[in-house]
Amino acid sequence: MKRNIPALLFVLAAAAPAAHAQKTDGDLNETQLHGRQVFAQSCGVCHLSPSLGSKTFGPPLNKASAAGNDEVMRAIIVNGTERMPAFKYYLKPAEIDAIISYVRSVPAQVVRAANEKGESR
Ligand code: HEC
């Protein structure tokens, strides 16, 4: 599988320019890389800034999101909220798992520091 990673990274780079502010690839495993790709495609429109410092419709997501609880995060993704669509008909359970695994790899303090610069919604 190792030899597929450069191809995957190429796809990620092409499909997900909005992911530039996210972690470097080095320490993500394959599941997390896949999760990042699905996240950029399905969630990025609301959860990733198109440019550094610009506001997003949804909160930035990281390790601490959904109270740090994977089951709570899964429920939010599956069922949606008042302002967020449900993804149960669009994403497979394995894709949701991969997204959660990726989001849990994003350090919380980086995002908090960005928020303290005036992010509000
Ligand atoms: C249409 C915009 C939109 C899309 C698309 C979207 N979200 Fe959200 N999301 C939101 C908003 C807005 C909130 C804040 C909760 C609220 O106001 O209802 C939120 C909240 C969340 C939360 C809870 C954060 C917390 O700590 O309370 C998680 C987790 C989440 N979204 C994950 C995702 C994932 C994963 C996807 C893609 C599968 C996704 N969202 C797609 C708008 C969106």
CATH value at residue 84? 1.10.760.10
How many domains are contained in the chain? 1
pLDDT at 2 over 70: no
Alpha-carbon gap, residue 11 to 108, rounded angstroms: 26
105 C-alpha vs ligand 1 centroid, how far in Å?
17
pLDDT at 16 over 70: no
Residue 20's pLDDT is what?
46
Cβ pair 33, 25 in contact under 8 A: yes
- Asked if residue 86 belongs to a domain, the reply is yes
Q: What domain range includes position 100?
A: 29-116
Beta carbon of 104 within 6 Å of any ligand 1 atom = no
- Percentage of the chain with pLDDT > 90? 60
Model pLDDT for residues 94-117, shown as the tens digit of each residue: 999 999 999 999 998 654 555 555
Averaged pLDDT, 30-45: 97
Averaged pLDDT, 69-78: 98
Beta carbon of 108 within 6 Å of any ligand 1 atom = no
Beta carbon of 59 within 6 Å of any ligand 1 atom = yes
Beta carbon of 121 within 6 Å of any ligand 1 atom = no
